[in-house]
Structure formats: structure tokens, C-alpha cells
């Protein structure tokens, strides 16, 4: 059974770009539903997977669309929460240098990010990636598609392009949402850690492991 990870900040920490109300719906309803359905499908199949990553890869291989969509959305949302912070920082060090060389600086990255996200048709995700054997790039994926299925890159940050991510706060103006998001919310420390890990320094982010009956007992025993 996978647990719904808690947000790494308070529900109102990302205001005004992302309101308390949006985060309650987005995390407590949308994300929770993906986790719940993933668990139900695994239970029905009698599966006890080691990790959410293995569920996604196997569901993709076996063509189990429903399981893939729910498990990948659970993963993407957990990664998305980590991709944001309330600190309003700028990228520094090696990551800043990589942004300079790929986009000519943070403002160039912002322009490309807003263009990519606003131009993406329908639901999905916009990712800042490190291309293996290359530099930084922006990519968008459709619906539940995630970066685990793309072995030629490592994700550094993601922003949710589904309407539920911005409709309450920005209505239909995805472009305004992306612009405000980029100025205030990217977790550059997280992106820098992913960037270093992709080059063998440190560990890449992984989804929290499933909660087993045994670890549940340990937790409740305190
Ligand atoms: Fe979402």
C-alpha cells in the first residue's frame, strides 16, 4: 500500500500563486484519488510491489493503462510537490551555469518554460530535464506520461499543466499561472540536487516506498 505523502509545506505557503484552497483540492482530492486507485488495483491483482517506480515500469510494459495512469500520476504529483518551495530563491552554482549555457540565463529559461507549458495542448506536465550526454532542456508530457518512461533524461523540476493546478487561482490563464509559478515557486535546491545526482553525486529522488503491514505496526508502536 502506498501512502499519500504529506505536502512538504503548509497549505497556504505557496500563496498567492497557488492558494490554500487549490492545494487542498489538488493534494487531498486529486493526488489522493490517484494513490487510492493505485492501491485498489494492486490489491485486486494481489501484487505487493517494492516501489512505485517498479509499478509504473511494469504497468507500462504489460500495457495496463489504468494502473499506469494512476501510478504515474501519483509519482508525478509527489515529484511536483518537491519541485516547489516558499523560499523564492534563484538557482546557484553548477545548476545556474547549466541554465546559462542552455537558455542564456534564468530569464531565457522562464521564457522557454512559459512557451512550452502554454503551448502544450491539453493536460500534462512541463519538465526541466537534464538530457543524458547533453544539457538542460524543457519537455512536456501528455496526461499521466512521466519521465521514468524516458531513459534519456533525468527530471529536475516539474510543473502541473492540468487545469486543476491553476483554475481556481488563475482561471483559464495558463500563461499567467506559469509566469507567476516560475517567478515564485521553483525549488532550485531540489533541482540542483537532482542535477548533481544525475551526474553521480548523490541520490536521485525516489517516491517513498510502500507502507508494509510491518512498518505500519512500527509507526503505530511509535
Ligand atoms: Fe495535478
Query: Which residues contact residue 65 at a Cβ distance below 8 angstroms, ignoring those fewer than 6 apart?
Result: 59
47, 102: one domain: no
Cα 185 to averaged position of ligand 1 atoms, centre (Å): 16
Q: Into how many domains does the chain fold? A: 2
- pLDDT band at residue 213 under the 50/70/90 scheme: low
Cα 15 to averaged position of ligand 1 atoms, centre (Å): 17
Residues 187-208 have a mean pLDDT of 97
Cα 151 to averaged position of ligand 1 atoms, centre (Å): 23
142, 176: one domain: yes
Cα 71 to averaged position of ligand 1 atoms, centre (Å): 13
| Inside any domain, residue 107 | yes
pLDDT > 90 fraction of the chain, expressed in percent and rounded: 90
98, 66: one domain: no
Cα 26 to averaged position of ligand 1 atoms, centre (Å): 6
167, 99: one domain: yes
Using CA atoms in the order 71, 73, 79, 80, what is the torsion angle rounded to 10 degrees?
-170
75, 100: one domain: no
| Inside any domain, residue 2 | no
Cα 169 to averaged position of ligand 1 atoms, centre (Å): 14
Residues 21-37 have a mean pLDDT of 98
DSSP 92-103: -HHHHHHHHHHH
Cα 221 to averaged position of ligand 1 atoms, centre (Å): 34
Three cell numbers at 113? Answer: 518554460
| Inside any domain, residue 12 | no
Q: Where is 195: in which H helix or E strand?
A: helix 188-198
Domain that holds residue 97: 93-197
100, 126: one domain: yes
Phi-psi region of 16 (alpha: psi -120 to 50; beta: other; left: phi over 0): alpha
Cα 5 to averaged position of ligand 1 atoms, centre (Å): 14
Q: Which of 59, 82, 105 is where one domain is finished?
A: 82
Cα 93 to averaged position of ligand 1 atoms, centre (Å): 30
Cα 133 to averaged position of ligand 1 atoms, centre (Å): 30
Query: Which residues contact residue 24 at a Cβ distance below 8 angstroms, ignoring those fewer than 6 apart?
Result: 11
57, 113: one domain: no
pLDDT in tens, 124-160: 999 999 999 999 999 999 987 878 888 899 999 999 9
Surrounding residues of ion ligand 1, Cβ less than 5 A = 160, 162
| Inside any domain, residue 118 | yes
| Inside any domain, residue 88 | no
- Report the CATH number that the domain containing residue 175 is assigned in CATH: 3.55.40.20
E strand intervals along the chain: 124-131, 136-142, 153-160
Predicted TM-score of the model (pTM)? 0.94
Amino acid at each position: 500500500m502506498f501512502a499519500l505523502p504529506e505536502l512538504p509545506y503548509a497549505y497556504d505557503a505557496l500563496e498567492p500563486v497557488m492558494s490554500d484552497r487549490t492545494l487542498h483540492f489538488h493534494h487531498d482530492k486529486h493526488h489522493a484519488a490517484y494513490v487510492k486507485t493505485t492501491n485498489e488495483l494492486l490489491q485486486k491483482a494481489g501484487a505487493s510491489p517494492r516501489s512505485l517506480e517498479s509499478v509504473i515500469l511494469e504497468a507500462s510494459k504489460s500495457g495496463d493503462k489504468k494502473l499506469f495512469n494512476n501510478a504515474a500520476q501519483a509519482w508525478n504529483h509527489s515529484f511536483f510537490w518537491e519541485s516547489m518551495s516558499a523560499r523564492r530563491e534563484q538557482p546557484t552554482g553548477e545548476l545556474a551555469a547549466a541554465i546559462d549555457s542552455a537558455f542564456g540565463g534564468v530569464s531565457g529559461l522562464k521564457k522557454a518554460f512559459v512557451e512550452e507549458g502554454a503551448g502544450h495542448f491539453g493536460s500534462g506536465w512541463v519538465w526541466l530535464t537534464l538530457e543524458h550526454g547533453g544539457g538542460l532542456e524543457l519537455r512536456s508530457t501528455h496526461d499521466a506520461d512521466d519521465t521514468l518512461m524516458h531513459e534519456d533524461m533525468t527530471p529536475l523540476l516539474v510543473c502541473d499543466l492540468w487545469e486543476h493546478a491553476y483554475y481556481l487561482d488563475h482561471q483559464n490563464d495558463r500563461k499567467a499561472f506559469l509566469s507567476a509559478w516560475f517567478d515564485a515557486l521553483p525549488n532550485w535546491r531540489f533541482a540542483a540536487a537532482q542535477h548533481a545526482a544525475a551526474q553521480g553525486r548523490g541520490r536521485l529522488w525516489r517516491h517513498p516506498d510502500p507502507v508494509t503491514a510491518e512498518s505500519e505496526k512500527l509507526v503505530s508502536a511509535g
